[in-house]
Chain A
Amino acid sequence: MAEPLLDLRGLQTHFQTFGGLVKAVDGVSFNVKAGEIVGLVGESGGGKSVIGFSILGLVDPPGRIAGGEIRFDGRDISKLGEREMRNVRGRDIAMVFQDPMTSLNPVYTIGRQMDEVLRLHTNLDEAARRTRCIRMLEDVGISGAESRLDAYPHQFSGGMRQRVVIAIALLAGSRLIIADEPTTALDVTVQSQILKLMRRQVQETGAAMILITHDLAVVSEMADRVVVLYCGKVVERGLTEEVIRSPAHPYTRGLLDSIPRITDRQRRLRQIPGTVPDIRTLGAGCSFRGRCAHAQPLCAERSPELVPVRGSLDAACHFPLQEAL
């Protein structure tokens, strides 16, 4: 089988803070193949965004990549110098940031900020770049695209800014797109429209996508495979279908149970009890044990390894869940 486009091997990204060392990403491994969408899910603080920034080499002090490999197209890009990395950013790998309100520079027009990517990474002339920008804006559902090019970010609503940010990420035809909560600012109808567009883009260009979200409903609709993160570690990964139907890790089960369903409108939403622990003070053992209904004494002694459980599922749990019937 061909080598995956992106292959994370034991990625470690740490932040040195006054309160201690924060292992925001602690030995994360997963891969993404060309033409594939991988969903990255987990509660807030799980390290999803930091993984995205690590791939692009955008982790700033006090953070640093402390270990592991980020293999993109066969070479470890985490070891590249700043100059070489600039050719990867925006060209090979593009990212949609989580917060659309702050991702755009307030003092430049939308058109100029879109054009910047094409100027940096293509040889198109000005007219061709402009045409491409207009088409991309239309694709993400912004009407009157041509006149919008001269508008400034503050003249756009949050949802429109989000679409502009997505348009910028799709513009240069990158081979990997990291989309960090790309649709959180959008209402539901627009959300599915944008998601469809992004999926079409991946299918047409053979690009790959990492879709970061805490919304398992979105993931089940979009992703081929899912990686579930908890406290900087992968707790479960596998084909979307299997993960959704019958997860092996209690945490994934908890996430699934907290999705509101139309059928059980009457029942109260089941939340995962407790809160995410402070990752600076985790110590030995499974980091989910404080909230886990299945925890045993062993769970406090040894942290579980990520191992194959059944089918496509790998899980990091001493007592993985049985397959649901």
Chain B
Amino acid sequence: MLGYTIKRLLQMVLVLFVVSIIVFLMMSFTGDPVFMVIPIDSTQAEIEQARRLLGLDQSLFSQYWIFLSNLLQGDFGRSYVFRQPAMDLILERLPATMEMVLVAMAFATLIAIPLGVYAGANPNRTASRGIMAASLFGISLPGFWVGMMLIYFFSVRHPFLPSSGRGETIEILGLRLSIFTADGWSHILLPAVTLALATLAIILRITRAGMMEVMRQDYIRFARAKGASRTHILFAHGLKNALIPVVTIFGLQLGDLIAFATITETIFAWPGTGKLLIDSIYRGDRPVIVVYLMLTAFIFVVINFLVDIVYTVIDPRITVK
């Protein structure tokens, strides 16, 4: 287990190294950042000086070298716009995004799994067909449209839920969180539902497919022959065997939502990292974008690692090597 963890950590470092190259190259080919930091009426000499200051006069390779050694020293650069460390900017907003994403994922999973189990165990019932048809909507409706419809119905027509911002937050362990206040919950509901819908539909369909397969197996019938209850058979004997693909998708969706909650955050003016990313792209705030991408890669790698560990917990036939 320890050997495995070390191996995975090395793998993680390698992935992040490759990502850093890609991010660096991407940034180098998208415009000259010097114009973001100097006043519009600067002279040519001033521009040259700024270039030197930013290291932009050096070769691509040595620029990357500087970039990498700064990263390794924990210096992720400063935002051109806010004049603060880019990492701080992002970490400050990360709790907002994480909070929304986790609520969305919890919501999606808690609804999708029971429905998927039901639909998979009773594929011919009308209710199951209804669930499957509804899940198609969940997959195909665009998030921004759902968001706007929710705002229209729950904030405009029947104004009982706010449509923008995070509401009241309290500080816990240095993090500003809103899920511990009623006002926070009323704010998080609409964006979380918007974000959850597609994931809910996907997890539901994966769960159903797995359950349909598993319920045909002999060991399910053998469990029935023992006299076990229906619920026990569905969830203990059935679901656990159908869970591997569900966990895979869960991990992918989790990473996806954390990294790309951008649209939902924009619609609901949610002060998270996604909104910061969009703003930074508009402003050409290169350091922020770089840190954002690196952090996203890091989150994906970590989730991947956790998913692999969860596999081994679920299925004893899967071992870590």
Contact = CB atoms under 8 A, between A and B. Distances in A.
Interface of A: 53, 56, 58, 61, 82, 86-91, 94-95, 97, 99, 102-108, 116-117, 120-121, 152, 154, 165, 168
Interface string B189-228: 0000000000000000000000000000111011111111
Interface stretch (B133-141, B167-175, B313-321): B313-321
Contact of B219 (A61, A86, A104): A104
A86 B317 contact: no
19 contacts: A58-B225, A86-B227, A86-B228, A89-B227, A90-B228, A91-B227, A94-B226, A97-B222, A102-B219, A103-B219, A104-B219, A105-B222, A106-B219, A106-B241, A107-B240, A107-B316, A116-B228, A117-B226, A120-B228
B237 interface: yes
A99 B218 contact: yes
A164 B219 CA distance: 13
B129 interface: no
Contacts of B227: 86-91, 117, 120-121
Contacts of B222: 97, 103-105, 165
A82 B166 CA distance: 50
B226 A120 contact: yes
Given A86-B229, A89-B227, A102-B219, 20 more contacts: A58-B224, A86-B228, A89-B225, A90-B225, A90-B226, A90-B227, A91-B227, A94-B225, A95-B225, A97-B222, A102-B218, A104-B222, A105-B223, A106-B315, A107-B241, A107-B315, A108-B240, A116-B223, A117-B226, A120-B228
A64 B133 CA distance: 29
B184 to A, nearest CB: 39
Q: Which 10 A-B pairs have the closest CB atoms?
A: A90-B227, A102-B218, A89-B227, A90-B226, A105-B219, A152-B316, A103-B222, A86-B227, A95-B225, A107-B240
| Main DSSP-derived SS at the B contact region | helix
- The number of chain B residues touching the other chain, given as a range, is 20 to 34
A106 B226 contact: no
A154 B218 contact: no
Interface string B286-317: 00000000000000000000000000001111
Contacts of B225: 56, 58, 89-90, 94-95, 97
A152 B312 CA distance: 13
B7 interface: no
Contacts of A91: 227
Interface of B: 124, 217-219, 221-230, 237, 240-241, 314-317
B285 to A, nearest CB: 49
Nearest to B223: A105
Contacts of A87: 227
Contacts of B241: 105-107
A97 B218 contact: yes
Nearest to A94: B225
A102 B217 contact: yes
Nearest to B124: A61
Contacts of A103: 218-219, 222
Contacts, number: 69
B318 to A, nearest CB: 10
Nearest to B222: A103
A116 B223 CA distance: 9
Contacts of B226: 89-90, 94, 116-117, 120, 168
Nearest to B243: A107
A296 B218 CA distance: 43
Contacts of B219: 102-106
A56 B124 CA distance: 23
B221 A97 contact: yes
Contacts of A117: 226-227
Contacts of A116: 223, 226, 228
A58 B314 contact: no
A250 B317 CA distance: 49
B317 A58 contact: no
Contacts of A89: 224-227
Contacts of A121: 227
B320 to A, nearest CB: 16
Given A89-B226, A116-B226, A58 B221 contact: yes
Contacts of A88: 227
Nearest to A56: B225
A91 B228 CA distance: 11
A103 B225 CA distance: 11
A107 B221 contact: no
A61 B315 CA distance: 30
B213 to A, nearest CB: 13
A152 B317 CA distance: 8
Contacts of B124: 61
A236 to B, nearest CB: 28
A143 B124 CA distance: 46
A43 B152 CA distance: 68
Which of B124, B219, B226, B241: most chain A CB closer than 10 A?
B226
A106 B316 CA distance: 8
